[in-house]
Structure 1
Amino acid sequence: MGVRSPSPATSQTLRQELNGHSSPAPSLYHSQSRRSSLTSLNESSEVISSHPKFVKDISKFWYKPTITRDEAISMLKDKAPGTFVVRDSNSFPGAFGLALKVSTPPPNVTSKSSDPASELVRHFLIEPTSRGVRLKGCANEPVFGSLSALVYQHSITALALPCRLVLPERDPAGAPDSVDSSVSTSGSSSSTSQLLQQGAACNVMYLHTADTESLTGPQAVKRAVSLMLAAKITPTVVHFKVSAQGITLTDNERKLFFRRHYPVNTISHCGLDPDDRRWAQKNEEGVPVGSHRVFGFVAKKGASRTENQCHILAELEPEQPATAICNFVTKVMMTSVSRPNLV
């Protein structure tokens, strides 16, 4: 099946972002509907076409719109793993090609090239959608509002890629290089800091809150899910925001509450249900119509220093699975804050 080309306006917007003509407000993800995907904290319902601003503009180093596939291979084959370039796709108009240098070739792949180094350059298609761009064929990948947002997130965590993208300090068309741990660490640190300050959000289903006493970690989530499944629960769609300040839940329809904020220094864990139990969504007749993965986060109960509560939620959209949400919280927000009580 071919990739659907975006409208001329969409293609122009994506490319303008890389030429420095986008809105100055940074955005990690964006949304177009009420059931939003991960979005910038600065916008709640409008389409956001802006992108993360790096300390210095490095898009000229990794965005090479006019090069061919072979030129990308030649440019990357002698580089360190994680080095990458993005080009305009020749086969799918409106889409983009991501060429990435990896450390090992794909399993069960017979070399078709006389140059083994060429086999270490992997290729991925970045397809346009009505709401932005995403890696094609990767179910656990979210939709991003721009190419820069996609690159930015994958420099933090690999997600569906074989390895993290290493943000370039110089043009990869230059001399061959080797892994520079200090540059990689510095790039990761600055990217994490930028991501924390910006924050991100998504809509999820709020299911239940359970007291877990002093218990935290996966066992707290397991206990809270068991209590939730034993009770009569009516799910409520809430806005789930993550930032350097903590996690904020907003019930836009005010069915259960208006807004609850959990400061970052009170949060000790965020993860999936260890037993991988699902929330069965049912229609008015009580017939199951969907199954949603459950996750939860543990935070201090009110002003208590010892009592915890576990807040159970469920994923809402296939584009934003619970695994991606938990990964964002734990790998980006929580690991960036040095606290001994993290689990």
Structure 2
Amino acid sequence: MRRIASVNKKIQDGNQFVGRRFQLRVPPLDGLDGFPIQLCPPSGKVLDLSTNGRTGQQSIVWQSFSTTGFVSHSNESLDSLAVQIPFRGHFMQRMGSQELLAKEGVGLLSKVRPENQMYSSPDFIVLGCVFDNDPLSMAYGAMFDPSESLSPDFLQFADMHQLGLRALQRALVQVVFWEDAPGGQIDTMYPLMEELLIFQLIGCWPMANTISSKFETAPSHILMRATDYIDANLGRSLTVVEVAKAAGASVRTLQKLFRSRLGCSPVQYIIDQRLIRVHHDLVREGDVTPVSQIAYRWGFVHLSDFSRRFKAKFGKRPSDIVPRSAI
């Protein structure tokens, strides 16, 4: 996954940027040529803006800080939804004749359209994300009923003090500061994190339409098929949607079944099984194979995070498992 380059701009009126504007182009969102955002400072001011974030296959997540405030809008219509959560200050979104005000504790969800303009206050910090509609619709259908084509009908505003939405905020911040995998390693954890964001949004953001899952099979058969599929594919990127499809169940059914029968979520089960594989390989070959190489083999590319998870599960550091002859 690519990391959006940190942008720190102080743009003086009359410099090389015509009309006090500059283009901030974020890397492509799932095959789009680009995600162009046009920004300009408040009249008569120097624009001060810092943005940091990350792109994935299905999303862009960022955090922006501006001491001056700014006006922004997309240069083109995209089949995408934007979520913006102010941490400090406030902003007004103008959508045609409609004006929507969002401040601390209130999140705003809107379509990405050129006519939608955002006016931020000075001393402004915002956490934002853009999701393509296709994976949102696919995840919504997978959560409730894979046999039907469904689309979420999100409300514009959300109270970010609610427990589920606070968890969404924490996950978004974690993604903003998610480190790239070292040495060109494939990060098999990030697709799970990205999928988690989508399901958190679907599960927690208020909607005009709510439905319940009607896709059911014998629970024991679902669980067996799901765990067998996970165990057979632990060495590559794996998503909950993929596991649910293999098990013949909706994502919601799978989540409920894992929690009721195994006491954990499907994501946690996948991570735990990978940790068990690492533990097994450390005992078997830790004296000849570096710990980092074994961790990479099972999808752990961030060694500090891996060590923390390993000790939390087994009560020991990975190096404590290596045969004494290797120390």
TM-score, normalised with respect to structure 2: 0.23
Bigger Rg, structure 1 or 2:
2
TM-score normalised by length of structure 1: 0.22
| Higher helix residue share | 2
